[in-house]
Structure 1
Amino acid sequence: MDSPTALFDSYESDFKQIVNSIREKLEGGGQDVQGEQRKAALRRVEMELDEADEMVSQMEIEIQGIPQSLRPSYQTRIKASKADLQRYKKLSKEAHTQLSRSELLTRPGMASPSSDEPYGGSASDRTRLLQGTTLLEDGSRRLQESQRIALETEEQGAGILRSLRGQREQIQNSRDTLNRADTSIDRASVTLKKMIRRMYQQRVVTAAIIAVLVILILVILYFKLVR
């Protein structure tokens, strides 16, 4: 029989592999890549973050089937996994922001800084840069809001699963109670049938005794009166 923690351990192992891949792209050699390769790496990071998020959700589902005596240590492991996931989500957003700013600064037509204009570039370039920064900040806020909603939805889903599990246990208990009641009813029915059968047997015996007594009385009367 499989261990009740086998699936949890499997999902956790997959999560760690995905996190290691993300770490390499964001903190390892992958962060030195620039241009289109960097964009592709960050897109891959986003997909891997979604996969890691799914692994955490599966771990939360599986922990419901783990015995209560073992559950605290596994809950601690889930919290650690969530902390790692949030950390790399934050690093991913920062990497996207840095890449977008770098693209804005290196866009063709941007004037090089001069001693007279410490911020460099023309007014229109600076305006576009500010607009781009504003858009990035808006996008970051939207992303944070989306993540918050996703986390709330995830928590609600886990709560629903816990509720469904409790209802399933109640239904199982009710079914067991009904089965026991059916068994008791069957036994009572068998007992009643035996009692009814014995009652009929006693009636037959009583009727036979009465018949014998009547016959004896008639015989006695016959001999008394006739002879």
Structure 2
Amino acid sequence: MSMFESYEQQFSSITADITARIGKIPNLTGTDKKTEVGVVQGNLDEAKELVDQMEIEIHDMASEQQPAATKKLKSYRSQLDTLQKEFRKAQIAVGNGIVARRELLGAEETHYSDDQRAQLLDNTETVDRTSRRLDEGKRIARETEEIGLEVIGNLHGQRETLEKSRHRLRETNEDLSKGSRIIRRISKRVVQHRIIIIVAALIILAVMGLIIFGIVKAKQK
């Protein structure tokens, strides 16, 4: 079983427990209601953490598995949002038995309580919208961080490539310098050899000239 599937099972179990507890909250009062609300809130936080862990696992999946997992994750987020809304409504809702007791206190008090409940519901919806915006901001921040790390990694790789190219260029320049020095030495030796050949040729010509001159002079005598 993969980690993603394990998180799915835990999410399914905890959301079932949340649903059952939310149904009890309107019929509770005082300490019992406060305790149940605390348990549900803790379960909702744990469910949200499971969803975040599933999102992280998707990034490590093979590319062909990611679309199906992403679709499931979207469904789980929607389910979690629905449970959060139901939880907020349950906190301000009252059960049938509590309504009956309030009706004994008079219609005016009941009407005032309904107005308070409506105002509280508006406030919780505002908080919900703000929470979603914060979650969206966190998601964008995570994506931006991932992109930044990827860019830094690419830049590091490009830097290493440039360093290697620079090193190779230095080696090439050194080889060219050595080659130039060798060529200059060879050219110098070639010039020297030519001078020696020319001098030797002039000497030979001079000797031959003297020999010919001596032969001609001897015949004349």
Give TM-score, length-normalised by structure 2.
Answer: 0.63
For residue 17 of structure 1, what is the aligned residue in structure 2? Answer: 6
Q: Which of 51, 54, 62 is 1:52 aligned to?
A: 54
Q: Distance in 1 between matches of 2:55 and 2:127?
A: 20
For residue 196 of structure 2, what is the aligned residue in structure 1? Answer: 208
Q: Call closer, same or farther: CA 1:161–1:81 in 2, change over 3 Å.
A: farther
Deviation at 1:156, TM superposition (A): 4.5
Q: Distance in 2 between matches of 1:144 and 1:176?
A: 48
8 Å contact 1:93–1:140 — kept in the other structure?
Answer: no
RMSD of aligned C-alpha atoms? 4.1
Q: Does 1:130 align with 2:111?
A: no
Identical positions, percent: 10
Q: Distance in 2 between matches of 1:219 and 1:51?
A: 104
Post-superposition Cα deviations, 1:117-146, rounded to whole Å, max 9, x if no partner, equal xx9x71232122212211221122222323
Q: Does 1:97 align with 2:85?
A: yes
Post-superposition Cα deviations, 1:1-36, rounded to whole Å, max 9, x if no partner, equal xxxxxxxxxxxx433432332222114x55434614
For residue 32 of structure 1, what is the aligned residue in structure 2? Answer: 20
8 Å contact 2:18–2:44 — kept in the other structure?
Answer: no
Deviation at 1:97, TM superposition (A): 2.4
For residue 29 of structure 2, what is the aligned residue in structure 1? Answer: none
Q: Distance in 1 between matches of 2:191 and 2:53?
A: 80
Q: Which amino acid aligns with 2:44?
A: L
8 Å contact 2:4–2:54 — kept in the other structure?
Answer: yes
For residue 73 of structure 2, what is the aligned residue in structure 1? Answer: 85
Q: Which stretches in structure 1 are left out of the alignment for 5+ residues?
A: 1-12, 64-72
For residue 70 of structure 1, what is the aligned residue in structure 2? Answer: none
Post-superposition Cα deviations, 1:65-105, rounded to whole Å, max 9, x if no partner, equal xxxxxxxx71x533333332232222222222222322323
For residue 66 of structure 1, what is the aligned residue in structure 2? Answer: none
Q: Distance in 1 between matches of 2:79 and 2:205?
A: 114
Q: Distance in 2 between matches of 1:86 and 1:127?
A: 35
Q: Which amino acid aligns with 1:42?
A: L
Alignment of 1:1-227 (within 5 A): 13-27=2-16, 29=17, 31-33=19-21, 35=36, 36-56=38-58, 59=59, 74=63, 77-106=65-94, 111-112=99-100, 122-157=110-145, 160=148, 178=166, 181-182=169-170, 184-217=172-205, 219=207
Q: Which stretches in structure 2 are left out of the alignment for 5+ residues?
A: 23-35
Structure 1 or 2: larger helix share? Answer: 2
Deviation at 1:112, TM superposition (A): 2.6
Q: Distance in 2 between matches of 1:26 and 1:33?
A: 10
Q: Which moved more, 1:161-170 or 1:196-205?
A: 161-170
Give TM-score, length-normalised by structure 1.
Answer: 0.62
Aligned length: 197
Q: Secondary structure at the match of 2:65?
A: helix
Deviation at 1:202, TM superposition (A): 1.0
Q: Distance in 2 between matches of 1:114 and 1:44?
A: 35
